[in-house]
C-alpha cells in the first residue's frame, strides 16, 4: 500500500471573492485526510471510507470512472465520497498513461466534510499523490495541485478555485489570485476553529453570491472590497500584527454576511469568540454552516465556543508547514 496525507485549511481572507479573480489567503492546518492505495489487476475500484464524518462504508465497482456504484446510501454521500475519488483516479490514469489501472482506496479523515476546512481538496490531493506513486510516478507539488484543482473544477461544475488544492498540496500560508498561486510568509498563528456540525451547500451559496452580484452594483462592490481587504491583510500578515489581522477578519466576516453566506450558528460562534477576547473571528469556506476561524493565543475562545449553543466542536489548529506527506 502507498499512503499519503494532505492537510485541510482555513481562510484568513477572501473566500467567495476569489471566484471572481480577487485574491485570497488560506492557511493549511494540521487536520489531515489520509489515503492509502493498492493497485489491483482487474481494473476495478474499491473504496473504503472509514471516517469522513459520516458512517463508514465500502463499495466496489467496475473499471471506468464516471459511473455510479449500486449501493444503498444517500446521493449526497455518493457525491461527496465517490465523485472526488473518481476524478482523482481519472487524473492518475491520465498522468501515468495506465488507463486500465484499478485500485483499492482507503480514506480516513479528521476534517469534517463540507465544513469549510477543505476536506475534498485534502482527499483529492492525497489520493492523486498516493495512486501515482503506487504506479511509480511522483508528481511535483505544483503539478499535484493543478491536477487536484482540475478534479475539483469538474466535480464542482466549474465553481472551484485553486486556493484549496494549492494550499493542501504545498502547506503553509498561500496567496491565490486567479491562476497565480504562491506561498507567503506567516507567523505562528493562534488558530481556533469552531464547528457547528453542519455543512453549507457550496454550489448553492456560490450561485447565490453570483446572482446578488449580477443584480446589485453594491454587491459587486462588496466583492471588490473583499479583494482590497485581502491586499491589506497580506501586509499585516507579513508584519505579524495579530491584533490588526483580527480586526480585518472581523470586517471580512461582515462583508460575507452582507453577501448572505453566513448563518445564525456561524454568527453566534463568531460573536462568542470576539466576546471571549479573540483578536478576530470570521466564517471560513463557503458558509451557510460549518466552521469559523478565530485568532486567540489563550484558552478563552476555545472554552467560550464549547459552551456556545450550536457549536458541536471547538479545537486549536496548528499551521501545517508541510503540505502533502508521503507516509509509505
Tell me the catalytic residues. 164
Short-list 323, 16, 317, 325, CA closest to 165: 323
Contact of 320 with 28, CB cutoff 8 Å: yes
Helix (H, G, I), strand (E, B) or coil at 6: strand
Helix axes 84-96, 141-155, angle to 10 degrees: 130
Contact of 137 with 96, CB cutoff 8 Å: yes
CA 328 to CA 314: how far, in whole Å?
31
CA 41 to CA 312: how far, in whole Å?
43
Contact of 319 with 186, CB cutoff 8 Å: yes
Radius of gyration of the chain (CA): 19
Query: What are the start-end ranges of the E strands in 21-172?
Result: 25-40, 45-51, 57-61, 102-109
Q: Sort strands 102-109 and 45-51 into parallel, antiparallel or unpaired.
A: parallel
Amino acid at each position: 500500500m502507498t499512503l499519503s496525507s494532505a492537510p485541510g485549511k482555513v481562510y484568513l481572507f477572501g473566500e467567495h471573492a476569489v471566484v471572481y479573480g480577487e485574491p485570497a489567503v488560506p492557511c493549511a492546518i494540521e487536520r489531515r485526510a489520509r489515503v492509502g492505495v493498492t493497485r489491483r489487476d482487474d481494473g476495478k475500484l474499491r473504496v473504503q471510507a472509514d471516517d469522513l464524518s459520516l458512517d463508514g462504508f465500502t463499495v466496489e465497482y467496475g473499471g471506468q470512472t464516471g459511473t455510479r456504484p449500486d449501493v444503498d446510501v444517500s446521493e449526497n454521500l455518493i457525491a461527496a465520497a465517490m465523485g472526488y475519488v473518481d476524478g482523482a483516479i481519472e487524473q492518475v490514469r491520465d498522468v501515468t498513461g495506465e488507463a486500465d489501472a484499478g485500485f483499492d482506496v482507503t480514506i480516513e479523515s479528521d476534517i469534517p466534510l463540507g465544513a469549510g476546512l477543505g476536506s475534498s481538496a485534502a482527499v483529492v490531493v492525497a489520493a492523486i499523490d498516493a495512486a501515482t506513486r503506487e504506479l511509480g510516478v511522483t508528481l511535483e507539488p505544483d503539478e499535484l495541485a493543478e491536477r487536484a484543482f482540475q478534479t475539483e473544477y469538474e466535480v464542482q461544475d466549474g465553481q472551484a478555485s485553486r486556493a484549496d488544492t494549492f494550499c493542501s498540496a504545498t502547506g503553509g500560508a498561500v496567496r491565490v489570485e486567479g491562476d497565480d498561486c504562491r506561498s507567503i510568509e506567516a507567523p505562528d498563528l493562534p488558530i481556533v476553529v469552531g464547528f457547528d456540525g453542519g455543512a453549507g451547500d457550496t454550489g448553492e451559496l456560490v450561485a447565490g453570491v453570483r446572482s446578488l452580484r449580477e443584480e446589485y452594483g453594491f454587491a459587486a462592490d462588496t466583492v471588490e472590497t473583499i479583494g482590497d481587504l485581502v491586499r491589506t491583510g497580506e501586509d499585516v500578515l507579513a508584519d505579524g500584527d495579530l491584533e490588526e489581522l483580527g480586526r480585518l477578519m472581523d470586517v471580512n466576516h461582515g462583508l460575507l454576511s452582507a453577501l448572505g453566506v453566513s448563518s445564525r450558528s456561524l454568527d453566534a460562534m463568531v460573536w462568542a469568540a470576539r466576546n471571549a477576547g479573540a483578536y478576530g473571528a470570521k466564517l471560513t469556506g463557503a458558509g451557510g454552516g460549518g466552521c469559523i476561524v478565530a485568532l486567540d493565543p489563550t484558552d478563552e475562545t476555545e472554552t467560550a465556543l464549547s459552551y456556545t449553543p450550536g457549536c458541536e466542536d471547538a479545537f486549536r489548529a496548528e499551521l501545517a508547514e508541510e503540505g502533502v506527506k508521503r507516509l509509505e
